Chain A
Amino acid sequence: MADHRQGSRRRGQGELEALVLSALGEAEGPATAGWVQERLGGDLAYTTVITILTRLLAKGAVTRERAGRSFAWTQASDQAGLAAHRMRRVLDAESDREAVLASFVTGLGPDDERLLRELLGQSRGEGED
């Protein structure tokens, strides 16, 4: 049992979110936190599931609606959507990310846009290949 719990703790935060999200994805329609916990094989504490669901809610990955005394949760986006959200946050946080992640294009200066349109227009004028 102790091993069990340690194992789940060792799994990163991102992985737990992914697990909960994929369990929620298998539900047909809105599901309660208890259902998600059961679906995960009772591996996680009920409060942990709630915590993760709340975190996913803050990220916009799930939505919830009141159902009686508790909430019913629905998946809003999938794994890729969650990854996109996390990546966006990394990019927003790092002002000099350009130095690490060679970006495909950098920002355009004031006259660049006009110049670029001219160049592209020229290239089209010369005939599409």
Chain B
Amino acid sequence: MGVFVFLPLVLPLTAWPIARLAEQHLHPRTATRLLTAVAAVMALCSTVCLALVMVVGTAQLPGNPLPDGWSDPEVRAAVPFDEVVGKAAIPALCAVVVACARTLWRHARVRRRAHRALAGLPETGVAVLPDTLPYAYALPGGRRDRVVVTTGLLDHLQPAERRALFAHERAHLAARHHRFLLAVQLAARANPFLRPLRTAVSYTAERWADEEAAQAVGSRRTVARAIGRAALVSRGAPVATLAGFAAPGPVPRRVAALLGPAPVVRRWPSLFTAVGLAAWCAAAGTAVSAMSSANAAVTMVLILHAATPW
């Protein structure tokens, strides 16, 4: 198998240019689905690969519960640098498992607490909270999905812009965006190289909801103004970025995108455009990653099976 065993661990690097191109050129809905799928498959492959290397690594440790045959020189020859890599894989896999479990637990906790905070209010789809702090959230789950918005934010918006805000949040809930966000978050925990995909998906999910809101309200400019105004009133907490490298943040990009022409839904694009290249690279990278980890898994199982005494 040679170094190909490690391919699924490194292939997520190809996600960087893909994420950039996809979020700029694909329809936000397509981009969100594509990037989430790519992230999920790559994360799964990378974890399988890590687990295989770990099995070989653990088998060499004295006193391990695995069959002795698994530390046979022939098995170890299947993985290059088996001693170092095998031992390194153990803490790495533990870290992945712990990080993913923590992410899931936190996700559940935030949702539970937020729903509990709203206990006592009438069970309506929209919960308006009297608070000067301007914010709006889509809160999935619980007895019913809810949109949470404060009077502090609503007071700063025109009636049409408020409709845009509600349409945006409802689009998040209707399309179950929190599942996409959770999936890419877990993927980023499984392999840190997948972090750009997480950032990209949280942006494209917002864009997706923006476009849905624009359709519901019937004016892209109204949605743009709603986002712009909401961002300007809630600008209290600036994102910590180095001023020198400050690229336009997600909010101005969303507003600019809405002020521009509506994105078109394309079928599978041609290879000879930037978009096509990105999409095809993503597909190819994912396929290679999946194939090489499937290959590694099958080979490893066969070798281990042959090396097991019973």
Contact = CB atoms under 8 A, between A and B. Distances in A.
Contacts of A12: 116, 119
Contact of B248 (A82, A93, A102, A112): A112
Given A14-B116, A77-B130, A120-B229, 4 more contacts: A15-B120, A99-B107, A103-B136, A109-B248
A117 interface: yes
Interface string B178-217: 1001100100000000000000001001100100000000
Interface of B: 103, 106-107, 109-111, 113-114, 116-121, 127-131, 133, 135-139, 148, 150, 153, 165, 168-169, 172, 177-178, 181-182, 185, 202, 205-206, 209, 219, 221-222, 224-225, 227-232, 234-235, 237-239, 241, 243, 246-252, 255-256, 259
Interface residues of A, number: 46
Contact of B246 (A82, A97, A109): A109
5 contacts: A83-B121, A105-B230, A108-B252, A111-B246, A119-B259
A99 B185 contact: yes
Contacts of B121: 79-80, 83
Contacts of A18: 119-120
Query: Interface on chain A toward B: helix, strand, loop, or mixed SS?
Result: helix
**Chain B residues touching A, majority SS:** helix
B186 to A, nearest CB: 10
A113 interface: yes
Interface of A: 12, 14-15, 17-18, 77, 79-84, 86-91, 93-94, 96-113, 115-117, 119-120, 122-123, 129
Contacts of A88: 131, 133
Nearest to A127: B221
Given A101-B137, A113-B232, A117-B232, A123 B224 contact: yes
B138 A87 contact: no
Nearest to A94: B110
Most buried by A among B121, B131, B209, B252: B252
Contact of B238 (A81, A84, A110): A110
A101 B249 CA distance: 19
